[in-house]
Amino acid sequence: MIEINQLTKVYGKGAKAITALNGVDLEIGAGMFGLLGPNGAGKTTLMRILAGIVNPSGGTVRVSGHDLATEKGKQAVKAMLGYLPQELGLYPDLTARQFVDYMAILKGMNDPAARQKRVGEVLDVVGLTQAADRKLKGFSGGMKRRVGIAQALVNEPRILIVDEPTAGLDPEERIRFRNLLVDLASDRVIILSTHIVEDIGQTCGDLAVLARGRIVFRGAPTLLMQAAQGKVWSVTTTKAHKPSEKLTVISMLHLAEGIQYRLVGPQPAEYADAQLVPPGLEDGYVWLMQSMGQASQALA
């Protein structure tokens, strides 16, 4: 459904040029697709290109056969798109219902009766029916995000792009939001961009990792987990010193007998009792990033 070939995006010119995307190739089909990567990896640029907001510097992007390089293609893609940007700006003096209604108008839903019905439905989907007629300036961060997803869904999009949707949400809201996305993924393409590994692990059957503008991993979450096989260690120590810098601390648990570390990296020589443990998705991601760092150091 989405085909990306040799996609490149360079901001600025000459010595100040910054390459945000560098030869990205991807094919994305129906269901939930996760895009993972550290801050500054180029995720938001890729999301904006897919939303038809940012123009690529090179390469091609086709969405349901529409070429995003043309104005006609962009308009066609935007008509089937729901988009939740990373930084969601709202109008504080509008109510949630009015905001979603306004966005529906912008998306070309011109029949007032049908629009009003649909606005009520999406506000119900995101659990905002009770607060629908309250002004947005009184909403919490989580409620604003829910308004964001409601406006993204109002035109019944075939493609839903959500950029860092759970940033700033409390744990309960994050879980609720993830479940909502999974429900919605049954009949559309959803692209979830985030740097929160857990969100991808809980929702996506397919993912890509973007780092420094390149796709460095593509596959199922289990494949990424397997990449860290034999590299994840559990160590319990009473020592006050931190583990070696070669190891990344994934988590720390304060126990009665000391501190239990979960570490990713080569076997920690300083801990004779280090135990290998099965890797999780976060371990796989951290190992991938560590490997990339080592590779670039070796090249340097």
Provide the minimum distance between the beta carbon of 88 and another protein in the complex, in angstroms, as a whole number.
8
Provide the minimum distance between the beta carbon of 133 and another protein in the complex, in angstroms, as a whole number.
5
One-letter amino acid of 65: G
What SS3 class is residue 23? strand
* Residue number with CB closer to another protein (78 or 174): 78
Provide the minimum distance between the beta carbon of 47 and another protein in the complex, in angstroms, as a whole number.
10
- Residue that has been written with the tokens 């003096």 in this structure: 93
* Residue number with CB closer to another protein (9 or 262): 9
One-letter amino acid of 233: W
* Residue number with CB closer to another protein (192 or 232): 192
Contacts of 112 (CB under 8 A, 6+ apart): none
What distance, in Å, lies between the first and last C-alpha atoms of the chain? Answer: 39
Provide the minimum distance between the beta carbon of 75 and another protein in the complex, in angstroms, as a whole number.
5
One-letter amino acid of 124: D
Q: Are 199 and 192 in contact (CB under 8 A)?
A: yes
Q: In what order do the strands lie in the sheet with 2-11?
A: 18-28, 2-11, 58-63, 66-67
Residues 220, 179: Cα–Cα separation, whole Å = 19
* Residue number with CB closer to another protein (188 or 231): 188
Nearest to 246 by CA among 294, 186, 202, 214: 294
Residues 81, 75: Cα–Cα separation, whole Å = 10
Provide the minimum distance between the beta carbon of 167 and another protein in the complex, in angstroms, as a whole number.
15
Instruction: Locate 112 and state its tokens.
Output: 């007032």
Q: What is the DSSP letter of 135?
A: B
* Residue number with CB closer to another protein (95 or 166): 95
* Residue number with CB closer to another protein (23 or 120): 120
* Residue number with CB closer to another protein (154 or 263): 154
Residue 287 sits at φ, ψ, to 5 deg, of -65, -40
Residues contributing to the site for another protein (CB under 8 A): 48, 51-55, 71, 75-76, 78-79, 81, 83, 85, 87-91, 93-95, 97-98, 101-103, 105-108, 112, 115-116, 119, 133, 151
Provide the minimum distance between the beta carbon of 134 and another protein in the complex, in angstroms, as a whole number.
9
Provide the minimum distance between the beta carbon of 148 and another protein in the complex, in angstroms, as a whole number.
9
